[in-house]
Structure 1
């Protein structure tokens, strides 16, 4: 199984966003991950539709968005109109989350849910037939550079076990390291979001780093 390696574009050099996309594309990135934050749902703000449009315009690889916003029903339409490949939403961001997931799917976009460390599987189980992707957060959403939360590993194991009943892909986001990629790929995780701790370094040798992770 080929693992899906997704650079987290909130960690990129925004003085040279187009060049960053080109470098990552040539280095073998599988997908571009875009965090959208409104300063309300999480205490940070990141990536505008214009940033995402720039990323999408400069690659033929899939682009996903992770909506960390309070008015997800409204914001979602912006990224549907941009024809994004995958849209992740947080189940706790709306009282009618299933309606939003169905709207994403009807638009021909892969729907996904992002599960924060404090959200249990039991609270989202009814949504699982509606999604193509689950992104498990291994840090609290909102900021890069955090520490991996080991207690989330039990949740990861449980989601891997029930995946066969639904067919979704499992992605991991938050403080990803070599060891985590190696261990959790073997367990059955499909892909990883790579941020400051895994990919974005001063030397920008993205090809070497991605090739290393590919072999793990």
Structure 2
């Protein structure tokens, strides 16, 4: 089992060479491909399309997660389960019965996850924690690119790190995740990191160099000694 999960955010990839991007990222050691799906309603923007998802699924056998930023995600679960998603994340406030949708995801043999928005309190989602395999914490506001990391979310991550011991979910962070954030949260027990332009895409270094560096325990040890 991987010490951490490094999850390229495919919204940031080169869409004109999506298949090559997937191959390069897999060879570099990526663990999970993170795919954002938006409907223009739950958030005012659109994300990746079904064709993009299909290209990624056809190109790799690695784990695919789908972050459903949509209204009534229960309507999308069967489709993405049948298309080959391995993990399906929903926003609990996107429908009236999120617990039913989580059970539906699991009925297809998939891992179920919930997303904690920056403005959502732990108390609002705590009753769902026994039902999920993953909690995805957004450290930026969903649906908008180019944002800065929201430091006030750190307290929620600390709370969830305590709660995950009892509820047995894995914790993933997403949004302006820089190398220093990877090292900080990895040392404290965060398992997954969604990597976008702050850490992976559009850099002068290759995917191989970047992913190898983020996974290196030596880098972690250096970081923990200086913090």
Q: CA deviation at 1:191?
A: 1.0
Residue matched to 2:83: 82
Question: Structure 1-normalised TM-score?
Answer: 0.97
- C-alpha distance 56-204 of structure 1, shift in aligned 2 (>3 A): farther
Q: 2-side partners of 1:71 and 1:129: how far apart?
A: 21
Q: Does 1:120 align with 2:93?
A: no
Instruction: Show the counterpart of 1:159.
Output: 160
TM-score of the pair, normalised by structure 2:
0.93
Q: Which structure 2 residues correspond to residues 87-98 of structure 1 after superposition, within 5 A?
A: 87-98=88-99
CA contact (8 A) 2:68 2:90 kept: yes
Number of the residue aligned with 1:193: 194
CA distance in 2, matches of 1:38, 1:124: 23
User: Unpaired segments of 5 or more residues in structure 1?
Assistant: none
Give the Cα–Cα distance (whole angstroms) in 2 for the partners of residues 138 and 196 of structure 1.
14
* CA distance in structure 1 between the aligned counterparts of 2:215 and 2:44, rounded to whole angstroms: 33
Greater CA deviation, 89-98 or 45-54? 45-54
The offset of 1:202, in angstroms, is 5.1
- Aligned position for 1:183: 184
Note the C-alpha offset of 1:81: 1.5
Distance, in Å, in 1 between the alignment partners of 2:144 and 2:48 is 13
Farther-moved stretch of structure 1 (24-33 vs 138-147) = 138-147
Superposition RMSD on alpha carbons, in Å? 1.1
The answer to whether the 8 A contact 1:131-1:168 is kept is: yes
Q: What is the DSSP-based 3-state SS (H/G/I as helix, E as strand, rest coil) of the residue aligned with 2:77? A: helix
CA distance in 2, matches of 1:202, 1:117: 27
| Contact 2:68-2:88 within 8 A present in 1 as well | yes
Is contact 1:8-1:32 (8 Å) kept? yes
Which one is further off, 67-76 or 102-111? 67-76
- Please give the per-residue CA displacement for 1:7-57, whole angstroms capped at 9, x wherever unaligned: 000000000000000000001000100000111111110111221111011
Q: Which residue of 2 aligns with 1:66?
A: 67
Shift in CA distance, 161/202, structure 1 to aligned 2, threshold 3 Å = closer
Paired with 1:145 and 1:189, the residues of 2 have a C-alpha distance of: 23
Deviation at 1:71, TM superposition (A): 2.6
Moved over 3 A (4+): none
> Which position in structure 2 is the counterpart of 1:26?
27
Counterparts of 1:11 and 1:144 in 2: how far apart (Å)? 10
- Unmatched 5+ residue regions in structure 2? 221-227
Q: Distance in 1 between matches of 2:212 and 2:105?
A: 33
- 2:42 aligns with 41
Equivalent in the alignment of 1:144: 145
Which position in structure 2 is the counterpart of 1:129? 130
